[in-house]
Structure 1
Amino acid sequence: MSAKAGQREFDVIVIGSGTCGGTIAKELALRNKRVLILERGANPPLKETLGAIVSIADRVILGDRGLSTVRALTTGGSTSLYFAVVNYPQLDTFRTLGIDLAGDLAAIRNELPIGPLPDSLLNPQGCALSDSARALGYDWHKFDMLVDASRCTAGYAYDAKWKAKSSVQDALANGAVLMNGATVSRILVDGERAVGVEYKLRKSPFGAELRKAYAKKIVLAAGELATPKILRDTGVEGIGARGFYCNPGYAIYGLVPGLKGTDGFVGSAGCQLDAGIELSDANIVRALHRPMMVGGMKLKHLFAFPETIGIGVKVKDGLGGQMRPNGRLHKTFDQHDRAKLDRGRQAAVKILEKAGAKDIVDFGVTAAGRVGGLVRIQEHVDSTLETQFRGLHVCDGSVLPDDMRGTPTVSLVCLAKYLSRHLLSAL
Structure 2
Amino acid sequence: MKNVIVVGSGAGGATVARELAINGINVTLLEKGDIIPVDKAHQCYENLDIGVELLKTSCFGGTTLVTAGNAVRSSQKVFEEMGIRLNREFDEVEDDLGVGVLPDTHFGEGTLKIMDASSSLGLTMSKMPKSINPKECIPCGKCAFGCPRNAKWSSLNYLEEAEKLGIKININSPVTRIITSNGHVTGVRSHDHEYSADIVILCAGAIETPRLLRSTGIKAGEHLFVDTFVTVGGVLREIDFYKELSMNALYIGDGFILSPHYSSLLTSRFEKQGFHEKDVLGMMVKIKDENSGYVGEELVVKNNTPQDVGLLAEGSALAGAILTEAGVDPGTIISTPARGAHPGGTAAIGEVVDNNLETKIKGLFVCDASVFPQAPGAPPVLTILALAKRLGKHISNK
TM-score (norm 2): 0.91
Distance 1:155 1:322 in 2: 38
- 2:24 counterpart (32, 35, 47): 32
Distance 1:337 1:31 in 2: 43
Q: Are the structure 2 counterparts of residues 266 and 391 from structure 1 closer, same or farther at C-alpha, using a change threshold of 3 Å?
A: same
Q: Following TM superposition, by how much is the alpha carbon of 1:314 offset from its aligned partner in structure 2, in angstroms?
A: 1.3
| 2:199 match | 217
Distance 1:342 1:91 in 2: 26
- The answer on 1:226 being equivalent to 2:226 is no
5+ residue gaps, structure 1, are 1-8, 201-209
Q: Which residue identity lines up with residue 308 of structure 1 in the other structure? A: V
Q: Are the structure 2 counterparts of residues 87 and 54 from structure 1 closer, same or farther at C-alpha, using a change threshold of 3 Å?
A: closer
- Matches of residues 124-273 of structure 1 in structure 2 within 5 Å? 124-152=109-137, 154-155=138-139, 158=147, 159-200=150-191, 210-237=192-219, 239-241=220-222, 243-261=223-241, 263-273=243-253
Q: Following TM superposition, by how much is the alpha carbon of 1:247 offset from its aligned partner in structure 2, in angstroms?
A: 2.3
| 1:394 match | 366
Distance 1:254 1:213 in 2: 53
- The answer on 1:379 being equivalent to 2:351 is yes
Bigger drift between 79-88 and 394-403 goes to 394-403
Deviations 1:108-158 (A, max 9, x none): 232221111111100111112112222222222212111112223x44583
For the residue of structure 2 that corresponds to 1:172, the secondary structure is helix
| 1:337 match | 308
TM-score (norm 1): 0.85
> Given that residues 125 and 309 in structure 1 are in contact (C-alpha distance below 8 angstroms), is that contact kept between their aligned partners in structure 2?
yes
- 2:377 counterpart (402, 405, 420): 405
Q: Are the structure 2 counterparts of residues 57 and 260 from structure 1 closer, same or farther at C-alpha, using a change threshold of 3 Å?
A: closer
Q: Following TM superposition, by how much is the alpha carbon of 1:413 offset from its aligned partner in structure 2, in angstroms?
A: 1.2
Deviations 1:321-347 (A, max 9, x none): 3333x2532122232221221222222
For the residue of structure 1 that corresponds to 2:199, the secondary structure is strand
- The answer on 1:59 being equivalent to 2:47 is yes
Deviations 1:190-242 (A, max 9, x none): 12011000012xxxxxxxxx2111111100011112111211222113x244x
Q: Following TM superposition, by how much is the alpha carbon of 1:56 offset from its aligned partner in structure 2, in angstroms?
A: 1.2
Q: Are the structure 2 counterparts of residues 342 and 94 from structure 1 closer, same or farther at C-alpha, using a change threshold of 3 Å?
A: closer
> Given that residues 289 and 377 in structure 2 are in contact (C-alpha distance below 8 angstroms), is that contact kept between their aligned partners in structure 1?
no
Q: Which residue identity lines up with residue 185 of structure 2 in the other structure? A: A
RMSD: 2.3
- Matches of residues 13-92 of structure 1 in structure 2 within 5 Å? 13-47=5-39, 52-63=40-51, 67-92=52-77
- Matches of residues 87-102 of structure 1 in structure 2 within 5 Å? 87-102=72-87
Q: Are the structure 2 counterparts of residues 32 and 271 from structure 1 closer, same or farther at C-alpha, using a change threshold of 3 Å?
A: same
> Given that residues 229 and 327 in structure 1 are in contact (C-alpha distance below 8 angstroms), is that contact kept between their aligned partners in structure 2?
no
| 1:363 match | 336
Q: Are the structure 2 counterparts of residues 417 and 280 from structure 1 closer, same or farther at C-alpha, using a change threshold of 3 Å?
A: same
Distance 1:302 1:186 in 2: 52
Distance 1:366 1:349 in 2: 18
> Given that residues 321 and 329 in structure 1 are in contact (C-alpha distance below 8 angstroms), is that contact kept between their aligned partners in structure 2?
yes
| 1:3 match | none
| 1:4 match | none
Distance 1:262 1:113 in 2: 25
Deviations 1:362-414 (A, max 9, x none): 221222x4122222213211122111111101101110231533211111111
Bigger drift between 226-235 and 399-408 goes to 399-408
> Given that residues 287 and 377 in structure 2 are in contact (C-alpha distance below 8 angstroms), is that contact kept between their aligned partners in structure 1?
no
> Given that residues 255 and 301 in structure 1 are in contact (C-alpha distance below 8 angstroms), is that contact kept between their aligned partners in structure 2?
no
| 1:206 match | none
Distance 2:75 2:81 in 1: 10
Q: Following TM superposition, by how much is the alpha carbon of 1:417 offset from its aligned partner in structure 2, in angstroms?
A: 1.0
| 1:350 match | 321
Q: Which residue identity lines up with residue 184 of structure 1 in the other structure? A: V
Bigger drift between 84-93 and 217-226 goes to 84-93
Distance 1:252 1:240 in 2: 31
5+ residue gaps, structure 2, are none
Normalized per residue, the structure richer in strand is 1
For the residue of structure 2 that corresponds to 1:234, the secondary structure is coil
For the residue of structure 2 that corresponds to 1:12, the secondary structure is strand
Q: Which residue identity lines up with residue 415 of structure 1 in the other structure? A: L
Q: Following TM superposition, by how much is the alpha carbon of 1:245 offset from its aligned partner in structure 2, in angstroms?
A: 2.1
% identity of equivalent residues: 26
Bigger drift between 388-397 and 9-18 goes to 9-18
> Given that residues 126 and 283 in structure 1 are in contact (C-alpha distance below 8 angstroms), is that contact kept between their aligned partners in structure 2?
no
